[in-house]
C-alpha cells in the first residue's frame, strides 16, 4: 500500500503532494515537514529506505528535488524505488527535460498524470510523439492509450 506521494525541495517547500489515505489538511503540513527532515538528514551513501513511525519512506533525490513515497510494511521497497524513477522519466519526456520549476508551475498537469496513472517508462512514448500534437491534453491521452503504460497504471491504481 502506498500512503502518499510527495515532491519536496531542499528548502522544505512542498511541490506536489498526493495522499492515497485521507489525512487532515493541518496534519499534512506537519507530516511533510517531518518527512523531509528525515530525508535531508541522510547522506548519499546511506540507504534510500527510512523507517518512519509505523511505515516506511522510500525517497530519491533529483538535483534539489526529493521525491518521497510513504509505504506500509508489505510493499517491496525496491519496486517502489524504481517506480519513482519511472515517474520521473515520464515527466522528463513530457516536459522535455523536467526541472523543479516545471513541477511547481504545472501542479495540475502532474496531478493529472498521476491521477490518470502515469508511472511507466518513457519507452512507451516512442510510438506516439506527444510534441507533434497541438493539444495540451493529448500527451496524457496518448500516454494512457499506450500498452506498456497500462501495466504500470494498474500497479499505481492498486494504491489509490
Partner 1 sequence: MSDVVERTLSALPGLLGQHDPGAGPGGAGGPGRVSASSRLGSLIRSITALTSKHEEEKLIQQELTSLKATVSAPSTTLRLMKECMVRLIYCEMLGYESSFGYIHAIKLAQQGNLLEKRVGYLAVSLFLHENHELLLLLVNTVVKDLQSTNLVEVCMALTVVSQIFPREMIPAVLPLIEDKLQHSKEIIRRKAVQALYKFYLIAPNQVQHIHDKFRKALCDRDAGVMAASLHIYLQMIKENSSGYKDLTGSFVTILKQVVGGKLSADFNYHSVPAPWLQIQLLRILGLLGKDDPRTSELMYDVLDESLRRAEINHNITYAILFECVQTIYTIHPKSELLEKAAKCIGKFVLSPKINLKYLGLKALTYVIQQDPNLALQHQMTIIECLDHPDPIIKRETLELLYRITNGQNVIVIVQKMLDYLKEGQEEYAIISLVGKIAELWFIQTMNAVFSVGGDVVHSDIPNNFLRLLAEGFDDEKEDHQLRVYAVQSYLALLEEEDKLYPQKFLQVMSWVLGEYFSLVTDVDPEVILTKLHSLLKKTFVTSETKAWIMAAVTKIASHTSCSKTVDEIIQELSSSLDTCLRQYAFELKHLCEDKALMKSLLPFDASCSDLVVDASLSFLDGFVAEGLAHGAAPYKPHHQRQEEKLSQEKALNFEPYGLSFASSVSSSGVTGRQSPTGLSFGSDISGNSAETGHKETNTLKLEGVRKLWGKEGYLPKKENKTGKENEPQAVPCGSLLAGQVGEAPALRPEQGASLSEEDKEKQQLASTLFIGLGASAGVSLMGKADTATQKFKRKSKITETHAASNFDPLLDTVPDNVEDSEGSVHTGLRKGSPSSSDTVEDNLAFETPQSLRKSVLDDRISANRLSQSSLFADSNIEIFQPSSSAQCESASETPLVPSLPEELEELPHSEVVGLCQSDALALHLCKVWTDDSLLLIVFVSNKTTAALHAVNLVFEETEHFQILESATSHFPVIEAQSVEHCQKCVRMNKVCTQAILPASVSYQSEMETCLEFSVTLSLMDFIRPMEMTTEDFGKLWLSLSNDVKQNIKMSPCQDSLSAALDTLQQKLKLHRVDVIGNEGILACQLLPSVPCLLHCRTHSGMLALWFRSPCAALPDGLLYQCQKVMEES
Q: Which of residues 49-78 bind partner 1 (CB under 8 A)?
A: 49-54, 76-78
Total chain residues near partner 1 (CB under 8 A): 75
Give min distance, CB of 89 to partner 1, in A. Answer: 9
Cell of 127: 510510438
Residue with cell 506536489: 16
Residue 146 to residue 86: CA distance in whole angstroms? 15
Give min distance, CB of 36 to partner 1, in A. Answer: 13
Q: Is 115 among the residues that bind partner 1 (CB under 8 A)?
A: yes
- Binding characters for partner 1, 5-44, by CB under 8 A (x = yes): --------xx-xxx---x--xx-xx---------------
Alpha-carbon dihedral of residues 10, 21, 122, 48, nearest 10 degrees? 50
Q: Tell which residue, 53, 157, 62, 130, has the closest CA to residue 100.
A: 62
Please tell me the total number of residues recorded for the chain in this structure. Answer: 160
In terms of CB distance, is 13 or 72 closer to partner 1? 13
Amino acid at each position: 500500500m502506498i500512503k502518499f506521494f510527495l515532491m519536496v525541495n531542499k528548502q522544505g517547500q512542498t511541490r506536489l503532494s498526493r495522499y492515497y489515505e485521507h489525512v487532515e489538511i493541518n496534519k499534512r503540513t506537519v507530516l511533510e515537514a517531518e518527512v523531509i527532515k528525515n530525508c535531508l538528514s541522510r547522506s548519499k551513501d546511506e540507504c534510500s529506505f527510512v523507517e518512519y513511525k509505523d511505515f516506511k519512506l522510500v525517497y530519491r533525490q533529483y538535483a534539489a528535488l526529493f521525491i518521497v513515497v510513504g509505504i506500509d510494511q508489505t510493499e517491496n521497497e525496491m519496486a517502489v524505488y524504481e517506480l519513482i524513477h519511472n515517474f520521473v522519466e515520464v515527466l522528463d519526456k513530457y516536459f522535455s527535460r523536467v526541472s523543479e520549476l516545471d513541477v511547481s508551475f504545472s501542479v495540475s498537469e502532474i496531478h493529472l498524470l498521476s491521477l490518470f496513472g502515469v508511472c511507466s517508462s518513457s519507452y512507451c512514448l516512442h510510438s506516439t510523439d506527444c510534441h507533434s500534437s497541438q493539444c495540451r491534453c493529448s500527451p496524457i491521452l496518448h500516454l494512457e492509450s499506450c500498452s506498456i503504460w497500462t501495466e504500470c497504471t494498474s500497479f499505481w491504481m492498486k494504491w489509490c
